[in-house]
Amino acid sequence: MAQDFGLIRVRTLFLSDLHLGTKGCQADQLLGFLKAYDADTIYLVGDIVDGWRLRSGWYWPQAHNDVIQKLLRKVRKGTRLVYIPGNHDEFLRDYLGVHLGGIELADSALHEAADGRRYLVIHGDQFDMVVRHARWLALLGDGAYTVALAVNTYLNVARRRLGLTYWSLSSWAKLKVKNAVNYIGRFEELLAAEARRHEADGIICGHIHHAAMHDLGGVRYVNTGDWVESCTAIVEHYDGRLEMIRWAEATQRQKPLPAGAGSLGVEAA
């Protein structure tokens, strides 16, 4: 169970790749994060509900329902919630521009931070050539990723018994396999170019499950990561400062997260 850190208020919260409806979704960790953080605006940056997986077999435990209810309660209390669908919840792209229960559905958004910087917010699958032009290969890769997560689950059961922290097999592979590293680099370049096309100062995206925050050719590239492995999110504080919250690491260390920079599990922009 996640430790109660107390409520931290931020200007904006960016979450992506929750993959609700899959066994890999770390819904309990996500609930702990949502209880600790509140925001004026929340952007759900795609792959929130995994329609691909739900079509092949229904899986929806109570914790996944609790996540939805927690987000809806925030909306009822006045939080603005913008949902930008990704490829796994692409069925919602048929409803772009519609408000559903106070939730705004959009293909992308231009977010102006408190410091005046403008960020293009988009899931990013539109710039994944495999997803766009070889859907069968994307589905095959999704199946392989699911197998890797299953292996990872058993591996980390053993690690916990040995007193070791969580370790991600697929995240390790992304950083070690040359083709994966090249894919990530190419993805980042394409997203940075799209930000320039919109005359934005930066881009906030998801899709590749690789949390990152760095400058790329004069553009701030920010990837929110995911809630299958990394359990990461991006928050904007009231001065416009962006921070990456690595929630799983923070809760493992059992230390509270203050609203400022420098806390464990937090990376400042």
Q: Is residue 1 situated within a structural domain?
A: no
CATH number for the domain including 46?
Answer: 3.60.21.10
For 40, the domain range is 8-268
- pLDDT tens-digit series, residues 57-68: 899 999 999 999
Q: Which amino acid is at 104?
A: E
Number of domains in the chain: 1
* pTM above threshold 0.85: no
Q: Is residue 80 situated within a structural domain?
A: yes
Q: Is residue 90 situated within a structural domain?
A: yes
- pLDDT tens-digit series, residues 175-228: 554 455 567 888 999 999 999 999 999 999 999 999 999 999 999 999 999 999
CA atoms within 13 A on the CB side of 208: 25
Sorted by sequence, the CB contacts under 8 Å of residue 64 that are 6+ apart come out as 20, 21, 25, 27
Residue pair 48/268 in contact by the 8 Å Cβ criterion:
no
Amino acid 94: pLDDT: 93
Element (H, E) at 129: helix 129-133
Long-range contacts of 65-68 (CB under 8 A, 24+ apart): 66/27, 66/31, 67/18, 67/20, 67/27, 67/30, 67/31, 67/34, 68/20
Amino acid 11: pLDDT: 98
Phi, psi of 266 (to 5 degrees): -125, 135
C-alpha to C-alpha distance for 222 and 213, rounded to whole angstroms: 4
Amino acid 5: pLDDT: 55
Q: Is residue 51 situated within a structural domain?
A: yes
- pLDDT tens-digit series, residues 94-136: 999 999 888 999 999 999 999 999 999 999 998 875 444 344 3
Q: Is residue 2 situated within a structural domain?
A: no
Lowest mean pLDDT across 6-15, 137-146, 260-269 = 137-146
